[in-house]
Chain A
């Protein structure tokens, strides 16, 4: 290439401006791709593990149980697919989707890129409930119910602390959540320190770090219904969420009832997070990082971000959980450890290559 003094010719008047990202088509393509990835992930993840399953076995079993087919799948294989693996994989998918969506909305409503679904004290509240069941033997409640109750209680206290003349100011809300989190963590530590014995330590630790080992069809059902219903409401409010980009005051001048929106959407997000925490414990990273990763790719419009975050979160969680149960078979890792090990480096790479959250 030679260097000449010729400056680039100025664009003639009326020339088309540089291409603006045509996000619509690109987003649709991404959503289609991630939906296929999710279907493939469910199928493959179910086949992985002891017992040699073929991907088709998975669909045969599903078909049989839905009454769509009657195949000659052996009872053992069918049992592994339908009773053992499928509920776990589907729960993982729903939990991953829920956390990613909740994280994205939480980051928007608090205008804090570090916000995650557990921001309002939910995970530590759930932990108190769970530990109370595991150690103090308040077993009649059942762990998920106790965890959900703990999360809800933490949420109420956070709201009560943050509420000022009916307003939930973002910073106040974050700080109130922090206070509640620390209090609940202290309570959890106290109970463990006081009464845990050798064996229960590992069980507790595994729950605290997140585990899908006990997932049942009921769990899958609860989180799926929650994520579909809450997710649909949130997507329907996508433009409202977009309007928060420049803060409360700008949102207000764009016609948003900032306060009512924040109360409603934070409550919805908290309930969805509570459902996820109740069945899986607190799984870190997914809700914090995945929304950022998705925004790198499709920008920050919520109509694009929320569906894509849900699909990506679901697939991500399926594979994290699959690794958690197979990596050191027969021992299981807490899935929260895997999400952090997988996610943090992947995110670091993205961070180096693209610009994020200035």
Chain B
């Protein structure tokens, strides 16, 4: 059986990918405001990086956008429709999430995990081919029969990404997708995500990865947007100093012309 030529994601041209609009979204836990009136937008089919120090609200914002947390205020619009007003299942057909270090005690094969991506969809005979094709695209096709627990951290992350692709989303939310990955797979993963043409919002720790791969970056501090825009406009010494508390020197990448940052303590 060959599934190599099965289309993985429905061919998403940037023109038919929907834009994401986050309008004044707030979320609080135990009376503490964690996400404080955030407003941002992601253009159709582009990748936006969510940056900020630990505890700045990146993960919480992603979860609020995903609908895992119910926002206290504000709306999340995907292609004009209110994600918060949708039934969970309908939302899951349009939005896929890859979380940080998500694991399980249950004995599962890699293919089982990837097939979870079909959960919100009606079961179909083509599901397995689709899952295998997704594995192929993240370079894990040969490991489809492997026990989840024998995988390395980086392999697990790629399997989760394959699962998210199998969900055939219009919006991809990634929480630290490059954690655990070696440099090769960090670059490979982000290159790949960009090539999908799916509207993507990704929390990233590495400012240089964000600078190299994102169309837009949004810097959070204390649950609010501290700066937003093109990487070369936002990742400047002033912003880095005030948000992260370190000194930064900005250089230009000799080949891509994108900013490359080097850091030193204040």
Question: Chain A: residues with CB nearer than 8 A to chain B?
Answer: 14, 16-21, 108, 111, 113, 239-240, 242-243, 245-247, 249-250, 252-257, 295-296, 299-301, 355-358
Contact = CB atoms under 8 A, between A and B. Distances in A.
B93 A299 contact: no
B88 A301 contact: no
Contacts of A246: 102-104, 113, 116
A198 B142 CA distance: 66
B67 A300 contact: no
A253 B97 contact: yes
A19 B132 CA distance: 12
Interface string B199-231: 000000000000000000000000000000000
A249 B123 CA distance: 22
A255 B2 contact: no
B95 interface: yes
B109 A299 contact: yes
A300 B145 contact: no
Interface in B79-104: 88-93, 95-97, 99, 102-104
Nearest to A11: B142
Interface string B26-68: 0000000000000000000000000000000000000100111
22 contacts: A17-B142, A17-B144, A20-B111, A20-B145, A108-B106, A243-B116, A243-B119, A245-B106, A245-B113, A246-B102, A246-B113, A252-B88, A253-B96, A253-B97, A254-B116, A254-B117, A254-B119, A296-B107, A301-B112, A355-B107, A355-B149, A357-B107
Interface residues of B, number: 41
B107 A299 contact: yes
Nearest to B102: A246
Contacts of A256: 88, 119
B120 interface: yes
A169 B120 CA distance: 23
Contacts of B92: 253-255
A14 B93 contact: no
B59 to A, nearest CB: 10
A299 B105 contact: no
B258 interface: no
B108 interface: yes
B166 to A, nearest CB: 11
B194 interface: no
Contacts of B90: 255
